[in-house]
Amino acid sequence: MIDLYTWQTPNGEKPVLMLEECGLDYRLEMIDISAGEQKTPEFLAINPNGKVPALVDRNGGEGQTVFESGAILIYLAEKTGKFLTASGPGRYETLQWTFFQVGGTGPMLGQWHHFTNAAPDQIPYAIDRYKKESLRLLGVLDDHLKDREWLAGEYSIADIINFGWVRSGLSGLKGEGTETLSHLMAWTERVGSRPAVKRAIEKLDHAKRAKSG
């Protein structure tokens, strides 16, 4: 059995999508980040960085622990042989668009959201900086998708890992220029229409509501 420790955030939903796509048995352990559960000693023993998601694969002995969403998706891809080519150019094309999200859209959109909605003081420079960079990165994805269905050849972990942050960015920055990103919007609809993706989002939503009471 795989235990997935997560919450309903763009980062937290990535491994749920992957687990559903791979058809693996897993148990959702919801970590309420608004209540600080990611900083408890019990969770820090799993992920010393105190962030969701984290995974413990208990099949075959003591268990394999993996944290960081990109590492989790690669682990699951290699465990199942799905959504990541084992070798060759296709593998590296997939990995480059995977880490484009890890180092790009996630951090930039996350900072834009923080300075816009959560910071105690409004700092126009920070808001504008992260907004512009987020829009630029979404534009890179849109341009890349103008003549292809998926980010790296066939549907892969690159699509799975980018989906949540792109969806969040298109929604949060609506009216700021995202309405022109037609290729990216069409891609988001393709990913979102997949049965496994629908199941993942529904399960995560149900689990959060059950946790919140």
Q: How do the domains of the chain map onto residue ranges?
A: 2-83+196-212, 89-194
Average pLDDT score, the chain: 96
pLDDT above 90: percentage of residues in the chain: 95
Q: Are strands 54-57 and 26-30 parallel, antiparallel or unpaired?
A: unpaired
pLDDT (average), residues 147-162: 97
Q: How confident is the model at residue 189 (pLDDT cuts 50, 70, 90)?
A: very high
Which pair of tokens denotes residue 185? Answer: 């919007």
Structure pTM? 0.95
Number of residues that this document lists for the chain? 213
Q: What is the pLDDT of residues 30-86, one digit of tens each?
A: 999 999 999 999 999 999 999 999 999 988 666 899 999 999 999 999 999 999 999
Tell me which CATH homologous superfamily contains domain 2-83+196-212.
Glutaredoxin (3.40.30.10)
**Is 123 in a helix, a strand, or coil?**
coil
Output the pLDDT for position 25: 95
pLDDT (average), residues 132-139: 98
**Is 193 in a helix, a strand, or coil?**
coil
Q: Is domain 89-194 classified as CATH 3.20.140.10?
A: no
Output the pLDDT for position 28: 96
Output the pLDDT for position 61: 60
List the strands of the sheet with 26-30, edge to edge: 26-30, 2-6, 54-57, 64-67
Output the pLDDT for position 148: 97
Which pair of tokens denotes residue 57? Answer: 């694969």
